[in-house]
Structure 1
């Protein structure tokens, strides 16, 4: 795990501890900055923003854009997505699509695959094949390139209203991911068990 991820985890746990005994946002901000110092001021402000503010898909995608996700997402990013009914979609390695936040699912998609989301009882499931709420995971789409004109390994096409962002891995763009709200999922033809 990277040093920045370790530091973010320390800050997040400290914020959670303070929040359990205090609801004064200004006091929490002051105590966190006193504890971790000014060199982490931007990270602290970002984590406090995730913890305290309401986000939509556009705002979360903007916050994630061009982040290096070698160690994954910060816990507060995932909590923020979950509490705001947002789902983050990214590729992982050469064979996985990952959904995180309000829906936690993954699917095998070596060389690409088509998926759809179905609701069973109160849970959204990622299923292979065509259906409502489809997501096509595309491996090396020749029409999607990064700033350096290299083809991006993972891109997606979907009918779900979303906001895209670029994710990096070890400094290289590896995915054009996206964020969507579960409120935009089509509820037609959904089954309950």
Structure 2
């Protein structure tokens, strides 16, 4: 199940949104998170993250792959919990809950890649919810990123060689065209085409080696 498929399945649902146990299990297994509003003060999370965030009249929820971040007021008196919060804070993403604006009672803004869906109430738009992938919140390991970059740098040398070869073949082909020699034009054109395909493949492979 993709986020697009789930959003399409949920689109047009009636408020209050009620997910069956079977669907919840499918959403969790797919690593997806559903965000939607309830009442006038709650942002609900379901699926791979299961939680709720109090946001009367709107607010900002901070989260990472481990879930919602606790309020500072709730952890400041515990050295362990306060330290854990401080470690998580730089890597969090934000979801802004917007109450009572436009066509919806609830809608959301975030830079997390997502797909939206509508929840209806008595024929009227109630909430524009969203679906995102939990993996979008995972912070890459610095060592893994460094390793990926090193592989990309090493492969860049091969890509540069492929580019130089293509340029050489292209020059030979254009020279043949200037001389108007049909046989040479055909031969150098074929070689240039092969060189171009090799360069294109090298660029594609190089991009695959870049850190996500």
Same fold by TM-score, threshold 0.5 exceeded? yes
Give distance in 1, aligned partners of 2:15 and 2:25. Answer: 16
**Structure 1 unmatched runs, 5+:** 1-54, 143-150
What's the offset of the Cα at 1:115? 1.1
Find 2:99's aligned residue among 129, 139, 145.
139
Provide the residue aligned with 1:125 in structure 2.
68
Contact 1:167 1:173 in 2 (8 A): yes
Name the SS for the 2:27 alignment partner.
Answer: helix
What's the offset of the Cα at 1:159? 0.9
Is 1:109 the equivalent of 2:55? yes
**How do 1:6-21 and structure 2 match up within 5 A?**
none
Give distance in 2, aligned partners of 1:135 and 1:188. Answer: 20
Aligned-residue RMSD, C-alpha? 2.3
Runs (4 or more) in structure 1 with deviation over 6 Å come to: none
**Structure 2 unmatched runs, 5+:** 73-88, 142-212
Contact 1:107 1:126 in 2 (8 A): no
What's the offset of the Cα at 1:125? 2.3
Task: Count how many residue pairs are aligned between Structure 1 and Structure 2.
Answer: 124
Provide the residue aligned with 2:45 in structure 1.
99
**Bigger Cα Rg:** 2
Q: Compute the TM-score of the two structures, normalised by the length of structure 1.
A: 0.58
**How do 1:29-178 and structure 2 match up within 5 A?**
55-70=1-16, 72-119=18-65, 123-127=66-70, 132-142=92-102, 151-178=103-130
